[in-house]
Amino acid sequence: MPKVLVVDDAAFMRASLRKILEPAGFEVSEAENGAVAVNTYQEVAPDVVTMDITMPEKDGIQAVKEIRALDPAAKIIMVSALGQENMVKQAILSGAKDFVVKPFDGERVVESIKKAMG
């Protein structure tokens, strides 16, 4: 079963993504900020990461950079409420594969994860 690491400081958002991803056949693990995400990535070795941007401790953009430094093949999708062009560019430049804007359609997230997995 492919593994997805869901990174978001909002418990509600982690639960929402779990509700979408588990029935779609993914094993889900969670991290509540960027710092925890970097550690959990190494422990879990997920196939794909969904990453929020604005989080305490360490933001999503910095976490993407650190995870990509550890694993240049890491597949990371940003899932954020901040969908302005400069934020999307910043995320893609830091190594994210895709950008899903909240509030999202569940099918859009699943499709993006499947596409990232190739």
Partner 1 sequence: MALKVEYINPFIEAGTEVLRKTTQMTVDRGKPSLDNGLFRVPDITVVLGLVGDLCGQVLYGFSVETAMGIASRMMGGEEVTEMDDMSRSAIAELGNMITGNAASRFSKLGLNIDVSTPSLITGSNMRITWPLHNALIVPVSTECGEMVVWLSMRERDKE
Residues in contact with partner 1 by CB under 8 A are: 9-13, 15, 19, 54-56, 80-86, 101-103
Query: Burial level of 75, CB count in 10 A (0-12/13-18/19+)?
Result: buried
Question: 22, 1, 5: which is closest to 74 by C-alpha?
Answer: 5
**Inter-residue contact 77 to 96 (CB < 8 Å):** yes
Least separation in angstroms between residue 103's CB and partner 1 is: 4
- By C-beta, is 33 or 74 nearer to partner 1? 33
Least separation in angstroms between residue 42's CB and partner 1 is: 25
- By C-beta, is 25 or 56 nearer to partner 1? 56
Least separation in angstroms between residue 102's CB and partner 1 is: 5
